Amino acid sequence: MEAVIRVRGLSKRFGDFTAVDQVDMSIPPHGVYGFLGPNGSGKTTAIRMMCGLLAPTAGEIEVLGMRIPEQTELIRRQVGYMTQKFSMYADLTILQNMEFMARIMGVRRAEQRGRIRELLQRFRLEPFSRRLAGALSGGQKRRLALAAAVIHQPRLLLLDEPTSEVDPNTRREFWDELFLMCESGTTVLVTTHLMDEAERCHHLAIINEGRKVADGSPEALKGQLGAGVFAIDGPQITAIRNHLEGVSQVLATTRIGLSLRVMLMPGVVDGLDWLREHLAGFTAGIEPAGATIEDVFVMATRENGAKGAGGAGR
Amino acid sequence: MSSLLQALIRIGAVCRKEVLHLIHDRLTFGMVVMIPLFQLVLFGYTINTDVRQVPAGLVDQPANSFSRQLALDLEATQVLHFIARCATPQELEGRIRDGELSAGLVIPPDAEERYQLGDRPTAQLVVDGSDTMVAGALRQLANFRFAPGRTLSNRDTPQAISVRLLYNPERRAALFTVPGLLGVILTMTMIMFTSIAIVRERERGNMELLIATPIRNLELMIGKIIPYIGIGLLQVSVILFLGVLLFAIPVAGKLLEIYTVCLIFILANLTLGLMISTLARNQLAAMQMFIFVFLPSMLLSGFMFPFVAMPRVARQLAEVLPLTHFLRIIRGIILRGEPLTGMGADIGYLLGFATLFLAISAFRFSKRLE
Ligand SMILES: Nc1ncnc2c1ncn2[C@@H]1O[C@H](COP(=O)(O)OP(=O)(O)O)[C@@H](O)[C@H]1O
Ligand SMILES: [Mg+2]
C-alpha cells in the first residue's frame, strides 16, 4: 500500500544551526511509527514540517498522497496533531474546548454531541467535562489533547511526545488507545525519547542530531545489531566498569540495578571469551544478554560522539 | 456542506471561543464599563488652550475701505483667519454648519453709520459654539476695539463686534467633550482588545493548535473581531446613557445615525488592533504599539486641542487617524444636527480604513510558526 507520509531530503536550518538534516522517510499505513531520539534531536521540528507549520529549508513532503505546502489545508482535515506542549485553551472547560475543535475541524453538527460524549467517555474525561482545561492534571490534559486531536476521525495522527510527564498507568492506557486506533485504520506517528516506548512501535526511526541514523521494526533493529551485549554481576561491578572504561573493544557500559550491561564494538569476535579473559582478575558472573532498543540507539549514534545513551536514557 | 457554510461555522467557533475568553477574564469585561465611567467623570471639563488662526468666513456687505479695514484689524489679532468670502449671512451659517468654517464676520451695509453713532455693534461675529475652546477664544473678540485711522486709547471707542454663538449657546463644555470621549474610549478599548487577540494565542501556546486546523486567515480575523463589535456597541450605549444622564447630551432622534457611525468607527479600530496583533511578538510589544497609535489620536484628533488651531503638519498627520474623522462626524451629528449624507468623505475614509486593515491583517497573519 501507498506510504502515508513520504519525505525526501528533508532539512530545516535555524540560522546556521541544522535541526533536521537530510531525512528520507516513508511511513507505511496502519501502524504505530515511532520517532525515537533524545531531546533536541529534531523530532518536533520534523513533525511540524509534516503539518505545514514550518517551512522546510530543503526537501519534499507528501502526506496522504498530497503535497505540502500546496495542499496543506486539505491535509489538515484528515490529520490529527497533538502538540508536545499542551495547547488547548486553559480558560475554557473540557467541553468548550472539544466543542471548539469539533466545529473548527468541520465535524457535522448533528454528530458533534455524540462524538464529543463518546470521546469524553473513552478518555475518562466525562466527570470533569465542566472543569477548566488549565486546572487538569498532566494526564488529564494529555487525554484531552488526544481526544481533541481525533475528533474528526483523522486518517493520520501525529503525536509529539504524548506520554512525557504522565504516570506509567496513564502511559499504558495511552498506548492501548493508540493500538485501538491503528486497528480501526488510523496511522499513528509518535515521537518519544523513551526506549521502552519505542519497543512498542511497529516501526521505528531513530533520530540523532537531526539525522535519521536507523530505521526498521524494533525486532529487526535488535536482530541486526552487530555487537555483543553482556550482563555482568557480582560485588565488583563498579571496579569492572572503571576497568573497562576507555578500552577500545568496549562500546558502552551501563549500570542497571545490581548488574552492568556491556556492549562490545562490532567486530569483536567471541565476545564472551574476550570478556572473560579481560576480566580474569575480577569476581564476576558474565552472561550474554538480549539486545534492547537502547543498545540499538547507542550503536546507531556511536559515530556522532559515542558517549553512550546518556541523553536518551530512562 | 457548502464551503461557505463551513467557513461560517468556523468563524462562529472562533467568535464563541473569544466570548468565552472574555467571560472568563472578568477584569477585561469590567473594563468595558469602568473605562467609560472613569473617563467621563475625569474629562468632564476640558483644559483651555490658546486658540489661533481659526478658519473664518467674511460677509462684507458694504465692501468699502471702512469694512476692509475692520476685517484686516480683526485678522491682525491672529485669533481668526478669513479663508472664505460669503455673499450672505445665510451662506456663512451653512458653511459653519457643514464644519467648513468655525466662525464668520458679518459686516452689515450700514456698518460705518453704526460705528459713528455707536448705538449698535458695528459687525457681528457668528461662532460655531460646539467647540467650546474655539468659542471661548472668539468670544474674547467682543472686547476688540476698532479705531480706523487713529491710534487712540481704547476707552472712548464703542463696541465694534457682537458675538453670536450658533450652536451650544450655553457653552457647555460637556456637549463638546462627551462625543469626543465616545471616540477616545472606543479607540482605546477596541484597539487594546484586538491588539492582544493574536499575540495572546501565541504567548499562551495555543497558536500551534489553532494553525494546525483548517481555519483560514480571514475567517480567524473575522471571528476574532465580531465579539468585540458587540462589546463596542455596548460601550457606546453606556457612554450615551451616562452622557444623557450626567450631562444632558441631546441625542434624541439621532440614535440610528450615531450607532451607524460608531459601528463603522469600531470596525476601523478593531482592524487596526488586529493588524498590531499580527505584528507584535508579545503582549508588551502590542501594548507599546497601541500607545504609539493612541497618543497621537488623543493629541491630534481634535479631542484635546482644537483641530483648526493646530499647525498644518499636525493636521495632515491627524487626517490619517480614524479618530479625527470620527470626531468630525459625531460632533456634527450630536452638536449641529448635520445629516450623515454631508459626511460621506469621513465615513468613506473609515470604511476604507477598516477594509484595508482587515485585509492587511489576514495577509500578514501566517499560518506558520516562524
Ligand atoms: N524556532 C527555532 N529557532 C531556533 N532553533 C530551534 C527552533 N526550534 C527548534 N530549534 C532547535 O532545533 C533543535 C531541535 O529541536 P526539536 O525539534 O524541538 O527537538 P526535539 O523535539 O527532538 O526535542 C533544538 O536544538 C532546538 O533548540
Ligand atoms: Mg520535541
Q: Which of A14, A193, A213 to mutate to test the pocket of ligand 1 (most atoms within 8 A of CB)?
A: A14
Predicted pLDDT at B235: 92
**CATH classification at residue B71:** 3.40.1710
Ligand 1 atom at shortest distance from the alpha carbon of A38: 22
All structural domains of chain A, each given as residue ranges with its CATH number in brackets, are: 226-290 (3.30.70.100)
Ligand 1 contacts CB of residue A45 (under 6 A): yes
**Is B49 among the domain residues?**
no
Inter-chain Cβ pairs, chain A and chain B, closer than 8 A:
83
Predicted pLDDT at B325: 95
Same domain? B198 vs B149? no
Test mutation, B4, B8, B17, chain A, max A CBs within 10 A: B17
**Is B24 among the domain residues?**
no
**Is B5 among the domain residues?**
no
Contact B1 A52 (CB under 8 A): no
Question: B107 φ, ψ to 5°?
Answer: -105, 110
Same domain? B247 vs B149? no
- Distance between B24 CA and the closest CA of chain A, angstroms: 7
Same domain? B89 vs B232? no
Same domain? B197 vs B290? yes
Domain end, chosen from B140, B166, B192, is at: B166
Residues of B in contact with A88 (CB under 8 A): 206, 209
Domain end, chosen from B147, B166, B185, is at: B166
For residue B346, list its beta bridge partners: none
The tens place of each residue's pLDDT in chain B, 370 residues long, gives 588 899 999 999 999 999 998 888 877 777 777 777 777 766 654 444 557 788 899 999 998 888 888 888 888 888 888 999 999 999 998 888 888 888 999 999 988 888 888 788 888 888 888 777 788 788 778 777 777 665 444 445 667 788 887 776 666 666 777 888 899 999 999 998 898 888 989 899 999 999 999 999 999 999 999 999 999 999 999 989 988 887 778 887 789 999 999 999 999 999 999 999 999 888 888 988 998 899 889 888 888 777 777 788 888 889 999 999 999 999 888 888 888 888 899 999 999 999 999 999 999 988 777 7
Same domain? B148 vs B182? no
**Is B79 among the domain residues?**
yes
| Distance from C-alpha of B292 to C-alpha of B191, rounded to nearest angstrom | 11
In A, minimum Cα distance to B3 occurs at A106
Nearest CA to ligand 1 atom 27: A40
- Distance between A168 CA and the closest CA of chain B, angstroms: 26
Per residue in A229-261, is it b (16+ CB within 10 Å) or e — as a string? bbebbbebbeebbebbeeeeebbbbbeeeebbb
Ligand 1 contacts CB of residue A186 (under 6 A): no
Which domain, by its residues, includes B110? 54-166
What is the β-pairing status of strands A203-208 and B103-107? unpaired
Of B206, B214, B369, which has the smallest distance from its Cβ to A53's Cβ?
A: B369
Q: Is B366 on the interface with A (CB under 8 A)?
A: no
Ligand 1 contacts CB of residue A39 (under 6 A): yes
Same domain? B193 vs B154? no
Give the ipTM of the model, two decimals please.
Answer: 0.83
Cite the beta strand spans of chain A per DSSP E. 5-14, 17-27, 32-36, 58-63, 66-68, 79-82, 156-159, 187-192, 203-208, 211-216, 229-233, 250-256, 259-264, 285-288
Residues of A in contact with B369 (CB under 8 A): 48, 53-54
- Distance between B210 CA and the closest CA of chain A, angstroms: 9
Ligand 1 contacts CB of residue A52 (under 6 A): no
Nearest CA to ligand 1 atom 12: A19
Same domain? B225 vs B293? yes
Contact B20 A91 (CB under 8 A): yes
Report chain B's terminal Cα–Cα distance, integer Å.
33
* Residue range A89-148, pLDDT digits in tens: 999 999 999 999 999 999 999 999 999 999 999 999 999 999 999 999 988 999 999 999
How is residue B307 written as a grid cell?
483641530
- Distance between A268 CA and the closest CA of chain B, angstroms: 48
Predicted pLDDT at B171: 61
- Distance between A314 CA and the closest CA of chain B, angstroms: 27
**Is B21 among the domain residues?**
no
Predicted pLDDT at B353: 97
- One DSSP character per residue, B49-85 reads -----EEEEEEESS-SHHHHHHHHHHHHTSSEEEEEE
Same domain? B93 vs B206? no
**Is B189 among the domain residues?**
yes
Contact B214 A76 (CB under 8 A): yes
The C-alpha angle B101, B162, B165, rounded to 5 degrees, equals: 45
Interface of B with A in 330-349 (CB under 8 A): none
Q: Is A76 on the interface with B (CB under 8 A)?
A: yes
Ligand 1 atom at shortest distance from the alpha carbon of A14: 4
What is the β-pairing status of strands B54-60 and B80-85? parallel
| Distance from C-alpha of B130 to C-alpha of B334, rounded to nearest angstrom | 9
Predicted pLDDT at A309: 37
Ligand 1 atom at shortest distance from the alpha carbon of A54: 1
Domain count, chain B: 2
* Residue range A34-53, pLDDT digits in tens: 999 999 999 999 999 999 99
Ligand nearest to the CA of A49: 1
* Residue range A9-20, pLDDT digits in tens: 999 999 999 999
Q: Is A109 on the interface with B (CB under 8 A)?
A: yes
Same domain? B240 vs B259? yes
Same domain? B123 vs B191? no
How is residue A202 written as a grid cell?
511497529
**Is B338 among the domain residues?**
yes
Same domain? B354 vs B261? yes
In A, minimum Cα distance to B1 occurs at A108
The tens place of each residue's pLDDT in chain A, 314 residues long, gives 588 999 999 999 999 999 999 999 999 999 999 999 999 999 999 999 999 999 999 999 999 999 988 899 899 999 999 999 999 999 999 999 999 999 999 999 999 999 999 999 999 999 999 999 999 998 899 999 999 999 999 999 999 999 887 888 888 888 999 999 999 999 999 999 988 889 999 999 999 999 999 999 999 998 888 778 999 988 888 888 888 888 888 888 888 888 898 988 888 888 888 888 888 888 888 988 888 888 888 888 876 444 433 333 33
Interface of A with B in 31-60 (CB under 8 A): 48, 51-55
Nearest CA to ligand 1 atom 8: A45
**Is B137 among the domain residues?**
yes
Integer CA distances (angstroms), A298 to A176, A185, A228, in order:
28, 33, 13
Domain end, chosen from B133, B166, B199, is at: B166
| Distance from C-alpha of B111 to C-alpha of B131, rounded to nearest angstrom | 28
Same domain? B179 vs B157? no
